[in-house]
Amino acid sequence: MKKVVLFKGASEEYERAFREHKYEAIFVEPLQFTCVNLEALSTALRGEYAGLVLTSARAAEAVARCWDPARFVAWSARRVYTVGDASAHKIKLLLGLEALGTTAGNAENLAKIIVKENAGSSKFLFPCGNLRSETLPTILQSKGISVDSLTVYETKENDNLKADLMELNGSTHDPCCMVFFSPSGCEYIHRQLQTFSNRLTNLPYFAIGNSTAHKIENLGVEIAGVAEKPRAESVIDSVQKYFASTSSGTISEQTSSDP
């Protein structure tokens, strides 16, 4: 069974999906998070907004830290947007709210959905991380939709990342590829891999989305594949397509070189 390194927190969904396709998922968390500005967030949640934008599970977790269904009952009649199934599940589980935009896949597509479904004078609350992209607020504001961005969690490198990478490199796991889930994670991992001799650097790199893929390329590393959607099945599809194409290429080269 081939082993795939997933640079994210352990996930039953990903573990199950990869196992069903005869892969073993190895999880390495490159990031750690700290909630901030929760008092300001609690105040903002009592404001008059057309909706809430939560583009990550971490943002949903931060909101949950100060969530009170009795105080925030008005949100049940407002729109909540996110970019993928995992975040939508977290929003439902922690806040009891149904999220829209789960097929968007990225911030740009989500912004287009919000613009299409809401009046130009609408105002949205956008709890987010300190490393957020400005793509979504910029698009919405260009269409007249107001966005109150509020940093509710901070991201930094996992204190155990180098030790985890060295253990992975020195173990018998022998992974076939690595999958990256965030631009910041890419940067931290790449930096640590430069500090010691390893086999991991030569593995194929896959990305959960375009922003992560662009970060990998900016670091001077070739990208092997990008998931079409931020879902386990899409990640598996990109991995399988890559190895199918490389196998075909090897066979073709061998055939053409035969006398």
Tens digits of per-residue pLDDT, 134-144? 999 999 999 99
Domain that holds residue 141: 33-156
**Residue 125 CA: distances (Å) to CA of 31, 64, 88, 150, 191:** 25, 15, 17, 8, 34
**Residue 25 CA: distances (Å) to CA of 13, 17, 174, 200, 224:** 11, 9, 12, 15, 18
Tally of domains within the chain: 2
My answer on whether 42 and 149 are in the same domain is yes
My answer on whether 49 and 11 are in the same domain is no
Q: What is the CATH number of the domain that holds 170?
A: 3.40.50.10090
What pTM was computed for the model? 0.76
Q: For residue range 115-152, list pLDDT tens digits in order.
A: 999 998 999 999 999 988 899 999 999 999 999 999 99
My answer on whether 136 and 44 are in the same domain is yes
Q: For residue range 48-66, list pLDDT tens digits in order.
A: 999 999 998 899 999 999 9
My answer on whether 67 and 128 are in the same domain is yes
The CA distance from 184 to 72, in Å, is: 33
Q: Does residue 170 lie in a domain region?
A: yes
Q: Does residue 229 lie in a domain region?
A: no
Q: Does residue 207 lie in a domain region?
A: no
The CA distance from 235 to 213, in Å, is: 13
| The pairing of beta strand 2-7 with beta strand 79-81 | unpaired
Q: Does residue 197 lie in a domain region?
A: no
Q: Does residue 41 lie in a domain region?
A: yes
Do residues 138 and 159 touch, judged by C-beta distance below 8 A? no
Q: Does residue 258 lie in a domain region?
A: no
